[in-house]
Homo-oligomer: A and B are copies of this chain.
Amino acid sequence: MKNAVVLLSGGLDSATVLALARAQGFQCFALSVDYGQRHHSELDAAQRVAMLLGAREHRVISIDLTAFGGSALTDNSIAVPQQPSVGIPLTYVPARNTIMLSLALAWAEVLQAQDVFIGVNAVDYSGYPDCRPAFIEAFEQMANLATKAGVEGKRLSVHAPLLHLSKAEIIQRGLAAGVDYAQTVSCYQADTAGRACGVCDSCRLRRAGFAAAGVADPTHYVNHE
């Protein structure tokens, strides 16, 4: 079995990616990043999901991006928007995917894994610069110059299997691959029990995805909606 590092936030998208990587026969090393996000229930969800979906190992690495701020997710003085925004959302965390992929690259190199998976999506998150296909391609190209494996001629691949899927399609593929979405937390401001606010961008996209997929929404909402 080939080793792969899978970035796992504990949300809907990354849980789906882990299930898809497993379905492709990879032995998966799940990596979560505690970057100072507003709540830890997402990381609790990552832990559950990693176990339920048969990751070989799950590690959480801490890096305090609140030292830089610049986002509603890493600066408590910036409120999480409750309405859809125009342009790049306030929840965009500067260079987050670059940092996360760099950490995945480091672990991949130590594991001698040539495959890294990330759940970015260019359809729903078109406002995030680091969710665009051109970014993923450029990262892959850079990664192949950055590492020992690259020097030795081993090719590293960055897989973003959700890149061009709608939320409904992601949910359908995840269900087929055995994801229990009740265990995942997507909300930007979930409470300590992992219950979703129902009003942030992430909640809205997720809820609309279940509706479009024609699937009952298993999300635990704060207001029992």
Q: Which residues of A contact B (CB under 8 A)?
A: 59, 61-65, 67-70, 88, 92-99, 102-103, 105-107, 109-110, 129-130, 132, 134-135, 138-139, 141-143, 145-148, 150-151
Contacts and interface: CB of A to CB of B under 8 A. Distances in A.
Contact of A102 (B62, B95, B151): B95
B70 A94 contact: no
Main secondary structure, interface of A, reads helix
Given A94-B110, A129-B148, 12 more contacts: A61-B64, A68-B106, A69-B110, A92-B148, A94-B147, A94-B148, A95-B103, A98-B105, A129-B145, A135-B142, A138-B141, A138-B142
A60 to B, nearest CB: 9
A17 B128 CA distance: 32
B106 A95 contact: yes
Interface centre among A143, A145, A147 (most CB of B within 10 A): A145
A67 B139 CA distance: 23
B106 A99 contact: yes
Contacts of A97: 146
Given A130-B147, A142-B141, A61 B67 contact: yes
Contacts of A146: 95, 97-98, 129-130, 135, 138-139
Q: How many copies does the complex hold?
A: 2
B106 A129 contact: no
A102 B135 CA distance: 13
Interface centre among A68, A150, A151 (most CB of B within 10 A): A68
Contact of A143 (B98, B110, B132): B98
A106 to B, nearest CB: 4
Given A62-B63, A138-B142, A95 B68 contact: no
A136 B151 CA distance: 15
Contacts of A92: 148
A107 B71 CA distance: 12
B61 A110 contact: no
29 contacts: A61-B64, A62-B63, A63-B103, A68-B106, A68-B107, A68-B110, A69-B110, A70-B106, A70-B110, A88-B148, A94-B106, A94-B107, A94-B109, A94-B110, A94-B147, A94-B148, A95-B102, A95-B109, A95-B146, A97-B146, A99-B106, A129-B151, A130-B146, A135-B142, A135-B145, A135-B146, A138-B138, A139-B142, A141-B142
